[in-house]
Amino acid sequence: MTATGAMIHPLAAVDEAAEVGAGTRVWQYSVVLAGARIGSDCNLNALTLVEGGAVIGDRVTLKCGVYVWDGITLEDDVFCGPNATFTNDKTPRSRQRPDEFARTIVERGASIGAGSVILPGIRIGAGAMIGAGAVVTCDVPAGETWVGNPARRLA
């Protein structure tokens, strides 16, 4: 059920059973699956995907190439840079779906840099900053900046 006032580009595919908040913009070649919940005033740039078990808060920005899978929650005011990668399965195998996906939470106001990788089951604290290209393998405390591979706190 797309909210009145959402802008869906004619070349985007938004399932009728997805929730999309007022003022949200979904651009071309983006896909939003049934069961997905997207808040108000979000911006889903071209070539993004939101799976049915994903939850996106208000005023979230997904730049091009960001896929938000089942089990991932992005709270209000989160920014995801181009091609930031989320994962949701700790032991992926072809054609073997887990009973439950790992829960990843990106708390309010956090920013995920371009090309970074967030492993499954991670919590990124409110206002944290993940640098471009970082590989996040453990929880990141609120307000901290993490960079590198594996990601470490920037001193």
Confidence of residue 1 (pLDDT cuts 50, 70, 90): low
Question: In this structure, is residue 47 part of a structural domain?
Answer: yes
Is the pLDDT reported for residue 2 higher than 70? Answer: no
**Domain CATH for 41:** 2.160.10.10
Question: In this structure, is residue 78 part of a structural domain?
Answer: yes
Q: Tens digits of per-residue pLDDT, 40-88?
A: 999 999 999 999 999 999 999 999 999 999 999 999 999 999 999 999 9
Question: In this structure, is residue 40 part of a structural domain?
Answer: yes
Instruction: For residue 123, give the nearest of 79, 58, 59, 75 by alpha carbon.
Output: 75
Tell me whether strands 49-50 and 67-68 are parallel, antiparallel or unpaired.
Answer: parallel
Burial 13-51 (b: 16+ CB within 10 A, else e): ebbeebbbbebbbbbeebbbbebbbbbbbbbbbebbbbb
Question: In this structure, is residue 133 part of a structural domain?
Answer: no
Question: In this structure, is residue 23 part of a structural domain?
Answer: yes
Question: In this structure, is residue 86 part of a structural domain?
Answer: yes
Domain that holds residue 26: 1-120
Question: In this structure, is residue 141 part of a structural domain?
Answer: no
Question: In this structure, is residue 140 part of a structural domain?
Answer: no
* Lowest model confidence (mean pLDDT) among 79-88, 96-105, 116-125: 96-105
* pLDDT score recorded for residue 155: 78
Q: What is the mean pLDDT of the chain?
A: 96
Mean pLDDT of 111-137: 98
Mean pLDDT of 114-132: 98
Mean pLDDT of 22-39: 98
Count of structural domains, the chain? 1
CA angle 20, 33, 46 (to 5 degrees): 75
pTM for the predicted model, two decimal places: 0.96
Which residues are CB-neighbours of 10 under 8 A, at least 6 positions away?
28
Whole-angstrom distance, CA of residue 88 vs CA of residue 155: 29
Mean pLDDT of 121-142: 98
How would you classify residue 37: left for phi > 0, otherwise alpha for psi between -120 and 50, otherwise beta? beta
